[in-house]
Amino acid sequence: MSNGQPADTSRRNWVIATCAAGGVAGVATAVPFFETFLPSEAAKAAGAPVEFDLTGMAKGEQKIAEWRGQPVWIMRRTDEQLAALDKHDDELADPDSLRNTDGPDAINPPFAAKNHWRSVKKEYLVLVGICTHLGCSPGNKFTPGPQPSLPDDWAGGWLCPCHGSTFDLAGRVYKNKPAPDNLRIPPYKFLSETRILIGETDKA
């Protein structure tokens, strides 16, 4: 394990280097890239927790932080987006986030994944922006409705460009897709109403 990253396989690391980097760069045209740099670069490389300021985030907006060399998405969901999460459980592979709930690299850590919105505070979703198939970076597809590469009843979410896995606005993967799991929720906790700390949680 280097740079404090999870014990990924060498294949996955290679894919992240060659695929996810390109995908993240694409997202950066739409949202600010790596919004927060409070710890030193050296501390971040060593895996230190990273603070992120939610101040000023509009509903429907996504921003990106960096933690342990990985993109971490922070999204403030709208009321409509949250309401839509209750309407397509039968289309999801793990709607109740029951898989991979243990350990420091849990996909669905119990502190955040006990509900359909998969977050500590309902509006604010925090996810590792790396596809659980081979590590590409899914792209934003927040607009609901028919569009290329997506079903006509699309409710908004993310589409992985590499092999077509789709995720809803809680990061839950749809059935019959290459990605085996929901997008990972990293450890995080709220330091105040407007600040979160990514990389640490005090809840079991």
Please report, as ranges, the residues that interact with ligand FES according to CB under 6 A: 131, 133-136, 160, 162-165, 178-179
Complex with ligand FES: residue 47 or 161, whichever CB lies closer? 161
Alpha-carbon gap, residue 162 to 135, rounded angstroms? 9
* 179 Cβ contact list (under 8 Å, min separation 6): 131, 132, 133, 160, 163, 165, 167, 173
Q: How far is the CB of 92 from ligand FES (least distance, A)?
A: 16
Among candidate residues 151, 186, 184, 145, the one with its CA nearest the CA of residue 166:
151
Using the minimum distance from each CB to ligand FES, give the nearer residue, 44 or 133. 133
Q: Which amino acid is at 83?
A: A
* Identity of the residue, 36 or 182, whose beta carbon is nearer to ligand FES in the bound complex: 182
Element (H, E) at 23: helix 21-27
Comparing CA positions, the residue from 136, 159, 137, 138 lying closest to residue 147 is 159
The minimum distance between CB 167 and ligand FES, in angstroms, equals: 9
Least Cβ distance, residue 66 to ligand FES (angstroms): 20
**Which residues are paired to 159 by β-bridges?**
139, 166
- We find the least distance from the C-beta atom of residue 19 to ligand FES, in angstroms, to be 7
